[in-house]
Amino acid sequence: MMKVSLNACLVALGLLSSSAAQSPHTTVQPIELTEAHWTGGFWKNRVDNCHNAMIPSMWEIMKGTHHKPFLKHFRIAAGLAEGRHRGAKWNDGDFYKWMEGVCAMLAVKPDPVWEQRLDEIIELIGKAQREDGYLHTPVLIGARNGDPNAKPFSDRFAFEMYNMGHLITAACVHHEVTGKDNFLTIAKRTAEFFHDTFHNPSGDEARQSICPSHYMGLIDLYRLTKDKRHLNLAKTLIGMRDIVAESGEGGDDNQDRLPFKKQTEVMGHAVRANYLYAGIADLYAETGDPALKTTLETLWQNLVEKKMYITGGCGALYDGASPDTSKDQTSMTRIHQAYGRNYQLPNTTAHNETCANIGNVLWSWRMFLLTGEARFIDVLELALYNSVLSGVSLEGSDYFYTNPLRVTNPLPVALRWSRKRVPFVTSYCCPPNVVRTVAATNRYAYTTSRDAIWVNLYGSSTANANGFRLRQETAYPWEGKITLTIESAPDKPTAIMLRIPGWASSAEVHANGKELPVTSSPGAYHELKRYWKAGDTIELDLAMPPILMESHPLVEETRNHVAIKRGPIVYCLESTDLPGNVNLTDVTILKDLKLTPRYDSQFLQGVTVLEGNVHTQQSKDWKGKLYRPLGEEEEPKSIQARFIPYYAWANRGESEMTVWLPLTGQ
């Protein structure tokens, strides 16, 4: 019989492993994934889509060779087929992430066919692994084909640690879900290779830290096995980054220009950065080093106050240089797919790689586990609903690599990545990352602490943890009314902690029909502590009016522009919803714009749209002009517009889109 455990899925997302609840320096603990289930509405629809469409369609790509030979690479590396390595050096890690997604699915939807398929894949992976535990198909295939340069760690940008880190995490998940040791044995051998290679790291070995999923993986393995060597190795691997910084050979692109504890700004490649910060948060959860937590808090604040998009997106630049304004030009290094300078948040050229946005979720989740503070769940929720879900089509078969906030036709410059979703991109890291994230979203819904259950995310669901059995019913995120019914509770005073989102302008709470004072401000948890009994009800009503949002004045590109939010959802205007003679660039918004929410179950798989009148002012031809005198436009006209959730754009054919629109009539 298949053993099902939440932590498998927690690990599946690179979140935490089975013993996360026992991490000594956390405030709240995740519950078993089987103890929280989406029962209807928004997130159940997306999880069902992941099960029915995303995972199977991705398997069709990965088992074949039409695009790149993901599965076949392991056959070639094992000597069971002939061929060369074709594809990105990180494709092994992408395959492991897909496997994690399957495990996350199995944890809540047991399926013997998928379980057997995983066993067959694991057997093949084991045959490809070297006796010393090394497993990286580009090198293994090159060596098998006689390439004398195919050696481990000969190229720091070969993503060996990234691939093997995801292997370890996926194996921990598989063990937690199924109770089997076949994949875990492979992971342990990989960890032994790490131990042998990095027990006394040299300067060159210290540079092997690109896209560090292996920090999370090793701590996952430590939590599962209780073998403290894995924790100590993770501590060594994180600490050896400082060797690079102190040598003067590091750079901001890989977050090793400065020793970690001296860093004050999120820098460089956004995926690498967010994975690093998530891994260090895991390390703090086990060691309690206060300097780590202080640095993490400083960096997280820099992200949300100066470098994060309104959608929760991360990594504004495709290419840049850092430190941007350094007087010492010799210290500047190229940064790629990266955080830019403070307040540098362009719209059309925004990179916002889906993996970086998922990294924001992973990092913010861990910060919440450490602190129990609602602000971290606010950011996690923002990214999940907006910049993560935008990465996959509603049908579940096409994906974005980047997530811009504005798209025009033509674009002002040629851009590296498509502005439309496609089934496959050469850098295939994001699609399986979305799969593993969506498959286990219920892991975020509830947590526990001593004599309390915490309600973090709202959505129709059930929870069975810490002596409670709860049922939640709501149409969230389209409505702000949530009803909790207690089906059983501990026989002692216990607390139910309700998150009052930071976006909520007001909140009302009723228990068994009686209104209670809400003593917590938005962006905090409201505690309800008493003897609870079966049949008790709690009603939380969050005000959810459409809100016009403005940016900090130093975000130059959105100065005197507004965006629209309602609850956790960011909205956009798509050219599909404008009359044929109206250009997106000619639309402006009045400060007193009145928007009417309307739920349409037949539109974009069921969304609440916002409808209201905007102004359009058709300008004259700009051809051949960069500047011209003000006033060469027609008189403004009022037209009705329909705004849709940002995550749902580009699902109706090619279109233009914008999140930010200029404000007029002030």
**Alpha-carbon span 526 to 506, nearest angstrom:** 13
What sign does the CA torsion over 369, 570, 549, 655 have?
A: positive
500, 542 in Cβ contact below 8 A?
Answer: yes
Is 620 in the same domain as 538?
Answer: no
Please report the pLDDT score of residue 632 as a whole number: 65
DSSP 451: T
**Alpha-carbon span 478 to 45, nearest angstrom:** 14
Q: What is the pTM of this model?
A: 0.95
> C-alpha angle 329/417/574, rounded to 5°?
115
For 203-241, b where at least 16 C-beta lie within 10 A, e where not — what string? Answer: eebbbbbbbbbbbbbbbbbbbbbeeebbbebbbbbbebb
Nearest to 220, CA basis, from 163, 279, 276: 279
Is 470 in the same domain as 436?
Answer: no
Residue type, 196: D
Last residue of a domain, one of 523, 542, 561: 542
Looking at the domain assignment, is residue 607 inside a domain?
A: yes
Please report the pLDDT score of residue 206 as a whole number: 77
**Alpha-carbon span 650 to 406, nearest angstrom:** 12
Is 528 in the same domain as 586?
Answer: no
Q: For 79-93, how does the pLDDT look when each residue is reduced to its tens digit (9 = 90+)?
A: 999 999 999 999 999
Looking at the domain assignment, is residue 322 inside a domain?
A: yes
Residue type, 132: D
In terms of residue numbers, what domain contains 609?
547-664
Looking at the domain assignment, is residue 640 inside a domain?
A: yes
Nearest to 178, CA basis, from 366, 365, 11: 11
Please report the pLDDT score of residue 631 as a whole number: 73
Please report the pLDDT score of residue 603 as a whole number: 98
Is 566 in the same domain as 538?
Answer: no
> C-alpha angle 140/141/143, rounded to 5°?
65
Please report the pLDDT score of residue 2 as a whole number: 45
Last residue of a domain, one of 490, 508, 542: 542
**Alpha-carbon span 460 to 457, nearest angstrom:** 10
Is 406 in the same domain as 310?
Answer: yes
Residue type, 445: A
Bin 603: left if φ > 0, else alpha if -120 < ψ < 50, else beta. Answer: beta
DSSP 31: P
Please report the pLDDT score of residue 8 as a whole number: 39
Residues 6+ apart with CB under 8 A from 46: 389, 438, 441
425, 398 in Cβ contact below 8 A?
Answer: no
The contacts found for 177-180 with CB under 8 angstroms, 24 or more apart, are 177/2, 177/3, 177/4, 177/5, 177/8, 177/9, 177/103, 177/104, 177/106, 177/107, 178/2, 178/3, 178/103, 178/106, 178/115, 178/118, 179/2, 179/3, 180/119
**Alpha-carbon span 215 to 233, nearest angstrom:** 9
Q: Is 310 helix (H, G, I), strand (E, B) or coil?
A: coil
Is 440 in the same domain as 536?
Answer: no
Is 501 in the same domain as 375?
Answer: no
Nearest to 468, CA basis, from 419, 425, 531: 531
**Alpha-carbon span 635 to 556, nearest angstrom:** 27
Is 397 in the same domain as 452?
Answer: no
First-residue to last-residue Cα distance in the chain? 66
Is 385 in the same domain as 459?
Answer: no
Last residue of a domain, one of 542, 573, 590: 542
As for how many domains the chain has, the answer is: 3
Question: What CATH number has the domain bearing residue 26?
Answer: 1.50.10.10
Could you say which residues of the chain have pLDDT below 70?
Answer: 1-21, 632-633, 666
Is 415 in the same domain as 472?
Answer: no
Is 533 in the same domain as 595?
Answer: no
Is 508 in the same domain as 426?
Answer: no
Question: What CATH number has the domain bearing residue 459?
Answer: 2.60.40.1180
Looking at the domain assignment, is residue 1 inside a domain?
A: no
